[in-house]
Amino acid sequence: MSRKNSRKKLNVAVAGVTGAVGQEMLRVLEQRKFPVGQLLPLASRRSAGKRIRFKGKPVTVRELKKDSFAGIDIALFSAGGGISKQFAPAAADAGCVVVDNSSAFRMDKAVPLVVPEINPSDVAKHKGIIANPNCTTIVTLMALYPLHQVFGVKRIFAASYQAVSGSGAMGIVELDQQVKALTRGQKIKKSVYPHQIAFNALPHVDAFLDNGYTKEEMKMENEGRKIMHLPRFRASTTCVRIPVYRSHSIAVNAEFTKPVNLAAARRAIRRAPGIDLRDDVAKNIYPLALDIAGQDNCAVGRLRKDCALNNGLTFWVVGDQLLKGAALNAVQIAEQVAKL
């Protein structure tokens, strides 16, 4: 991308700009002072013509088309896998670098899958498209990778507790409507989830596979291997949707190849970027979804030796899935692209 090296400002497109993650992308671009020259907000035909605000100024949303990307340096995609498969290759062919938030290209061998705190050098291997990992995978690895660097991770057993906003805006609406209906003694309506989500926990995130796991659950192992460059990494995960608006929480039991030490584990977390240690059970201090919502950093607590695994550590990690799990990670990747 020689044109990028000749100027400071970069022309940036955001596809899916009217969605929850798209809106967060705009906010993060502005907050982190990304050197945006021209902003091109893109969405579906029905959203074209709407006005969004960026840096205090109104900008008109345009319809996403295959010829939308002339003169664009970086395109952030958050419009779903089908849209990404349809339009991301065209954007790359137009000469811009696509950072895609969907699952469309994550396991493509030619596409880097990047968490900048873990494998930033993989960005340079791109051929026009870079994939943003799954939100639950990102949050988990933010805590796991610093520990892996010290002890060498072998496998994990994990259970995620995922907010309804992970299902999009309608997940929030459905929870809100069900809570109101139940408190008024009215019958609830279900459309986003197969069962009542209010005051409930559903061990069902994404579609079920032949092996009994869901697609979401297998992402932890498959994406974790690619991001950490650990082809033998194993992860048995159960993903649960809970009635929380924002932030995903994951309980992790990790087994390592080397003997574990709590003091060394705490030091590893403290010096790692993007992760905070909140761990003082005597004062009831541990990460909470309510506290982490809206925060850039993930947080880890309840750190302890695992009593059922050799060389095992158990911990609780929480991250805002709209930020580090999506928009923030995408912008951080764009920042790495800008350095190339």
Q: For every residue of 198-232, which 3-state class applies, written as one string? A: CCCCECCCCCECCCCCEHHHHHHHHHHHHHHCCCC
| 331 CB-near residues (< 8 Å, 6+ apart) | 25, 28, 29, 32, 34, 76
Q: Are 296 and 332 in contact (CB under 8 A)?
A: no
Residue 248 catalytic? yes
Catalytic residue from among 126, 148, 239, 248 = 248
> Helix, strand, or coil here: 245?
coil
pLDDT value of residue 168: 87
The residue-averaged pLDDT of 99-128 equals: 98
Element (H, E) at 15: strand 10-15
Q: Are 302 and 249 in contact (CB under 8 A)?
A: no
CA dihedral of 116, 120, 124, 130, whole degrees rounded to 10: -30
Place of tokens 């994550």: 106
Report residue 8's pLDDT band, with 50, 70 and 90 as the boundaries. confident
The residue-averaged pLDDT of 146-163 equals: 98
pLDDT above 70 covers a percentage of the chain that reads 98
> Helix, strand, or coil here: 135?
helix
Two structure tokens written together for 135: 């939100």
DSSP string across 51-110 = EEEETTEEEE-EE--TTTTTT-SEEEE-S-HHHHHHHHHHHHHTTPEEEE-SSSSTT-TT
Q: What is the mean pLDDT of the chain?
A: 96
* pLDDT value at 2 more than 80: no
Residue 135 catalytic? yes
Count of all residues that appear for the chain in the document = 340
Report residue 1's pLDDT band, with 50, 70 and 90 as the boundaries. very low
Report residue 197's pLDDT band, with 50, 70 and 90 as the boundaries. very high
Catalytic residue from among 135, 148, 239, 298 = 135
Domains plus CATH for the chain?
2-132+326-339 (3.40.50.720), 137-321 (3.30.360.10)
Q: Is the dihedral of CA 300, 305, 309, 311 positive or negative?
A: positive
CA distances to 13, 183, 218, 237 from 107, rounded to whole Å, are: 24, 44, 12, 18
* pLDDT value at 322 more than 70: yes
Element (H, E) at 304: strand 298-305
Quick: pLDDT tens for 230-289. Answer: 999 999 999 999 999 999 999 999 999 999 999 999 999 999 999 999 999 999 999 999
Nearest-angstrom CA–CA distance, 138 and 319 = 9
Q: Is the pTM of this model over 0.85?
A: yes
Q: Where are the alpha helices (DSSP H) in the chain?
A: 2-5, 20-31, 81-93, 135-151, 169-183, 215-228, 262-271, 289-292, 328-339
